[in-house]
């Protein structure tokens, strides 16, 4: 093959690659790159004030009406887990219930009809206002676990906690290895003492110890007991997290019997979420284990060991949510995009924006000035 022909083939390959790259940069219904809208929503939902609410409603409506409702739900769970946490445990029960209602509506209506449905819009808006009104707590700072802590002699040298009933009822000699018993006793003692950082350390140590054993033992970890749901694979059913939450459940029963904690629904909801009712990343699952530690260690020391009310003023919330349809109306004037296209575009964080002559392009400041006015209207702010 001649040099010229080779150069031509290389150029064709480059052109093809460039076209494929451009195809990945897709727009939402309002004309934003998907990644741009996604990150703008993430930022807005973590801020306070009228402007933040307006941004959250706008970008949520845009993402949802562009077919990215699953992405929007994930951000909501992420925010509740990492930024609300034990500050408002009712939020997990609330999100589980509301998202179940939204999923029922998604099965009932085709997309375009769904986006125009008043109940659907109201549910989306309510979730945003509720999350915005939640008290906040910083995400857990997990202590480092050194490599040296995974040596056999280290565990024998540092163990201090006595055997407790909650662990004895959970740990099975035939199927669970001894390090699980030691670590679980340490976790329970730390929770009883209110020493959350020590509890976090032992939770992380146990998870990492199991991971190391699996790596060195062809996939078999510290336990062969399948505590996970039947529809999971055998490997997932023996996940160490199932042992940890089983111990937590026993500790909770003891505390509840003494009236030291009254969060039955919230605790069960967190267990259900961790067990797989909500798709979570490994980081989110570990954070939920941390939230359960906080619940067992801190709540018994509260003056009232129950979850505070999630919605302080239902009337004001109702007034606010009634304005949600305006944000959806602003988005729905633009042509529809495919759900698949949004999912592809969400993976790309940077890129050159594609212009669309059929869409009216407004810059971000112009959009938000409009939405600030809408939000101000329900609060009576001039």
Question: What mean pLDDT comes out for the span 161-170?
Answer: 96
Query: Which pLDDT does position 358 carry in this prediction?
Result: 39
Q: What residues form DSSP beta bridges with 27? A: 33
Query: Per-residue pLDDT for 295 more than 90?
Result: yes
Question: What mean pLDDT comes out for the span 302-313?
Answer: 92
Question: How far, in Å, CA of 26 to CA of 206, rounded?
Answer: 43
SS (H, E, C) the chain: CCHHHHHHHHHHHHHHHHHHHHHHCCECCCCCEHHHHHHHHHHHHCCCCHHHHHHHHHHHHHHHHCCCHHHHHHHHHHHHHHHHHHHCCHHHHHHHHHHHHHHHHHHHCCHHHHHHCHHHHHHHHHHHHHHHHCCCCCCCCCCCCCHHHHCHHHHHHHCCCCCCHHHHHHCCCCCECHHHHHHHHHHHHHHHHCCHHHHHHHHHHHHHHHHHHHHHCCCCCCECCCCCCCCCCHHHHCCHHHHHHHHHHHHHHHHHHCCCCECHHHHHHHHHHHHHHCCCCHHHHHHHHHHHHHHHHHHHHCCCCECCCCCCCHHHHHHHHCCHHHHHHHHHCCCCCCHHHHHHHHCCCCCCCCCCCCCCCCCHHHHHHHHHHHHHHHHCCC
CB 331 within 8 A of CB 29: yes
pTM for this model (two decimals) = 0.83
Query: Which pLDDT does position 359 carry in this prediction?
Result: 39
% of residues, the chain, pLDDT over 70? 82
Residue 139, both tokens: 């995400």
Question: What mean pLDDT comes out for the span 349-360?
Answer: 40
For 57-72, write each residue's pLDDT tens digit: 999 999 999 999 998 9
CB 289 within 8 A of CB 273: no
CB 112 within 8 A of CB 64: no
Q: What residues form DSSP beta bridges with 33? A: 27
Q: pLDDT confidence of 350, banded at 50, 70, 90?
A: very low
Q: What residues form DSSP beta bridges with 223? A: 176
CB 284 within 8 A of CB 239: no
For 251-266, write each residue's pLDDT tens digit: 999 999 999 999 999 9
Q: 352 or 136, which is more confident?
A: 136
Query: Per-residue pLDDT for 188 more than 90?
Result: yes
Question: What mean pLDDT comes out for the span 154-160?
Answer: 93
Residue 272, both tokens: 């259900």
Sign of the alpha-carbon dihedral angle for 98, 274, 247, 301:
negative
Question: What mean pLDDT comes out for the span 286-294?
Answer: 98
Query: Which pLDDT does position 371 carry in this prediction?
Result: 45
For 5-27, write each residue's pLDDT tens digit: 566 666 666 666 665 555 556 78
Query: Which pLDDT does position 4 carry in this prediction?
Result: 63
For 222-279, write each residue's pLDDT tens digit: 999 999 998 898 889 999 999 999 999 999 999 999 999 999 999 999 999 999 999 9
């Amino acid at each position: 093959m001649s040099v010229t022909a080779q150069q031509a083939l290389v150029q064709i390959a480059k052109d093809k690659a460039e076209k494929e790259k451009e195809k990945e940069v897709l727009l939402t219904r309002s004309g934003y790159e998907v990644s741009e809208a996604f990150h703008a929503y993430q930022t807005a939902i973590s801020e306070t004030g009228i402007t933040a609410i307006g941004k959250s409603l706008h970008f949520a409506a845009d993402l949802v009406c562009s077919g990215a409702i699953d992405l929007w739900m994930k951000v909501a769970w992420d925010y509740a887990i990492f930024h609300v946490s034990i500050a408002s445990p009712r939020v997990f029960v609330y999100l589980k219930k509301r998202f179940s209602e939204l999923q029922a509506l998604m099965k009932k209506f085709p997309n375009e009809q769904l986006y125009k449905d008043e109940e659907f819009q109201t549910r989306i808006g309510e979730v945003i206002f509720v999350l915005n009104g939640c008290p906040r707590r910083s995400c857990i700072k997990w202590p480092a676990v050194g490599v040296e802590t995974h040596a056999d002699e280290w565990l024998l040298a540092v163990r201090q906690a006595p055997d407790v009933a909650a662990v004895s009822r959970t740990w099975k000699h035939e199927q669970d290895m001894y390090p699980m018993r030691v670590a679980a006793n340490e976790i329970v003692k730390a929770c009883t003492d209110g020493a959350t950082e020590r509890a976090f350390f032992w939770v992380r140590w146990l998870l990492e110890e199991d991971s190391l054993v699996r790596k060195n033992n062809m996939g078999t970890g510290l336990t062969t007991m399948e505590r996970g749901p039947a529809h999971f694979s055998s490997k997932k059913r023996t996940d160490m997290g199932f042992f940890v939450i089983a111990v937590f459940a026993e500790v909770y029963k003891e505390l509840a019997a003494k009236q030291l904690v009254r969060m039955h629904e919230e605790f069960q909801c967190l267990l259900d979420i961790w067990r797989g009712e909500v798709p979570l990343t490994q980081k989110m699952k570990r954070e939920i284990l941390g939230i359960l530690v906080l619940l067992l260690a801190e709540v018994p020391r509260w003056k009232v060991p129950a979850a505070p009310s999630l919605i302080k003023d239902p009337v004001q919330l109702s007034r606010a949510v009634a304005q949600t349809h305006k944000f959806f109306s602003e988005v729905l004037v633009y042509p529809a995009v495919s759900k698949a296209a949004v999912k592809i575009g969400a993976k790309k964080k940077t890129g050159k924006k594609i212009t669309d002559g059929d869409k009216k392009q407004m810059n971000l400041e112009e959009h938000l000035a409009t939405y600030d006015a809408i939000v101000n209207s329900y609060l009576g702010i001039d």
